[in-house]
Amino acid sequence: MTSPIPIEDEFEDIIAKTMRGRHISEGDLQSKTGVSSDILQRLCRGEFCDEPALLAVAKALDLDPQALTMSASKVWRPRSVTLEGLAMTNTPYRDMRVNAFLIWDPESKKGAAFDTGTDSSVLTEQAREKGVAIEAVYLTHTHNDHIADLDRLTQDWGGVPVYANEAEPWPGATVFSEGDSFTIGSLSMTTKTTSGHSVGGTTYVIEGLERPVAVVGDAMFAGSMGGGMVSFADAWKNNREKILRLPDETILCPGHGPLTSVGEEKNNNPFFAQEFR
């Protein structure tokens, strides 16, 4: 039995991302919270050593205290998801792992790949075992870990087309605008630009399976969000307004970590739970 994919971000990663994104130094945080430098340093290193101090940090950073405490206590992970028409690969990249997805119409067996991970042969093997024909590749964004094996994937499937957001084009890819629609067999798909982690980060919303699916790339993770490397404010806003407004049962397929859902994130994500719970 394979081990479950671990949560991508620990509570200290969530704190660090928020501090960077909101330009809050450790000194600022100490002034805002009154927590001693020693305790703050230990929390920032990932030691859950003082719950009242963590609650003060959550309040100062505008994070949900309950959700951040659950993250620090390691008591939550999203419920496992099984859905006909959806498969995930998880391949190594440096000191982490990266996801890619296969989505297909169970009736026609027409499918599409979303990103490649670092070894697209795993995705290809999955497709061939299921009798699925990959007819297109859709990029959530163009960071290397997500498209590292793009050439091999397209060649293995006879030079299938590649699609990328016009805000983040890729050589040889057909670009699209936000709101453009595609089909995967009888499934329908629309695009949302969820930039912030990257300039043209894209969420693909697929309808027609037993549950709606959103492939979100590095916009969101289970219990966290992407690093907001381009704009933390845009990343936070797009997640809140474009992803978390989808139906609660929507399965979220992130670029790292386990599958989750809109409902899970509205209740358990420290960045957003205080608004939606």
What per-residue confidence (pLDDT) applies to 2?
A: 61
Q: Say if 11-73 and 86-276 have the same CATH topology.
A: no
**pLDDT, tens only, 6-43:** 999 999 999 999 999 999 999 999 999 999 999 999 99
Domain regions of the chain by residue span: 11-73, 86-276
Q: Which two tokens stand for residue 6?
A: 């671990």
For the chain, what is the largest distance between any 2 Cα atoms, rounded to a whole number of angstroms?
61
Position 270 pLDDT exceeds 80: yes
- Quick one: fold of 86-276? Metallo-beta-lactamase; Chain A (3.60.15)
Q: How far does CA 197 lie from the centroid of its chain?
A: 10
φ/ψ (deg, to 5) at 227: -75, -5
- Nearest C-alpha neighbor of 216 from the set 265, 263, 254: 254
What per-residue confidence (pLDDT) applies to 3?
A: 74
**pLDDT, tens only, 135-163:** 999 999 999 999 999 999 999 999 999 99
Q: Which two tokens stand for residue 132?
A: 């699925």
Within a 10 A sphere around the Cβ of 108, how many other Cβ atoms?
A: 13
Percent of the chain exceeding pLDDT 90 equals 97
Percent of the chain exceeding pLDDT 70 equals 99
Task: Specify the CATH number of the domain 11-73.
Answer: 1.10.260
DSSP-derived pairing of the beta strands 133-138 and 110-114: parallel
Q: Which two tokens stand for residue 223?
A: 């219990």
**pLDDT, tens only, 170-214:** 999 999 999 999 999 999 999 999 999 999 999 999 999 999 999
- Counting other chains too, the contacts that 33-36 makes at CB distance below 8 Å and 24 or more residues apart are 33/57, 33/59, 33/60
Q: Across all residues in the chain, what is the average pLDDT?
A: 97
DSSP-derived secondary structure for 187-213:
EEEEEEE--SSSTT-EEEEEESSSS-E
**CA dihedral sign of residues 66, 75, 24, 32:** positive
**pLDDT, tens only, 231-243:** 999 999 999 999 9
